[in-house]
């Protein structure tokens, strides 16, 4: 049986902990973080182990990096990857998955999300609850899609983008890297790199430095 360690101890990490308990065939082992003090408020301090840097991973250990910030998540992932750590694709049992889905490692797909068909997904992405992904979509690595995002057909998304809740990506739009898209925005044509977007239609309102 695979033993799962959650890297992170914040709000999203606690959500993942409760969802892991709903999945058969895996065993939750504990939280890894530099500081697990926040877990005590939720009676979870007994599951805190240590920081990920100080933990000696076993062959049967699998990591989930449950950190919403794409850049911090990538930093933790890269550090563990260099050590040869196993990563787990967490897919909640309620997720609907169609055909021909190609996926890297260390992705998180939360309850009631839908993946249709002919989709390519990279590494270390987070798809929070009720995210929908249409046909022929290509998504890079270390993106965060908060709840109720709608990624429609033929959309292309690069790396390290952060989308707030209820962002809609309209068909065939193209998103570059390191963009922040504010909650409720509707993206028509897309954006290149390093921008903050807001509105319907989504417009650049600043630089994402």
| CA separation for the pair 173, 187 (Å, rounded) | 7
Q: Domains in the chain: how many in total?
A: 2
What is the predicted pLDDT for the residue at 24? 87
Domain match, 100 and 142 both: yes
Please, what is the average pLDDT of the chain?
97
Q: Supply the CATH number for residue 152's domain.
A: 2.160.10.10
| CA separation for the pair 166, 198 (Å, rounded) | 12
Q: Supply the CATH number for residue 63's domain.
A: 3.40.50.20
Residue 125 binned pLDDT confidence (cut-offs 50, 70, 90): very high
pTM to 2 decimal places? 0.96
What is the predicted pLDDT for the residue at 209? 84
Residue 36 binned pLDDT confidence (cut-offs 50, 70, 90): confident
Q: Tell me, yes or no, whether 177 lies in a domain.
A: yes
Handedness of CA 59, 61, 63, 64 (dihedral sign): positive
């Amino acid at each position: 049986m695979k033993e799962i360690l959650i890297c992170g101890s914040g709000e999203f990490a606690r959500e993942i902990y409760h969802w892991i308990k709903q999945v058969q065939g895996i065993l939750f082992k504990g939280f890894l973080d530099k500081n697990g003090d926040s877990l005590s408020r939720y009676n979870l301090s007994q599951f805190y182990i240590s920081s990920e840097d100080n933990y000696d991973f076993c062959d049967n250990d699998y990591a989930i990096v449950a950190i919403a910030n794409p850049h911090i998540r990538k930093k933790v992932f890269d550090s563990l990857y260099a050590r040869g750590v196993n990563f787990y694709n967490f897919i909640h049992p309620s997720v609907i998955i169609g055909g021909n889905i190609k996926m890297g490692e260390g992705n998180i797909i939360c309850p009631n999300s839908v993946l249709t068909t002919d989709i390519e997904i990279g590494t270390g992405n987070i798809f929070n609850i009720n995210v929908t992904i249409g046909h022929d979509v290509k998504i890079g690595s270390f993106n965060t899609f908060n709840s109720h995002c709608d990624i429609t057909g033929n959309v292309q998304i690069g790396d390290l983008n952060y989308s707030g809740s209820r962002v809609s990506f309209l068909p065939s739009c193209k998103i570059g890297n390191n963009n922040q898209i504010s909650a409720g925005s509707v993206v028509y044509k897309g954006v290149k790199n390093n921008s903050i977007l807001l509105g319907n239609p989504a417009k650049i309102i600043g630089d994402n430095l």
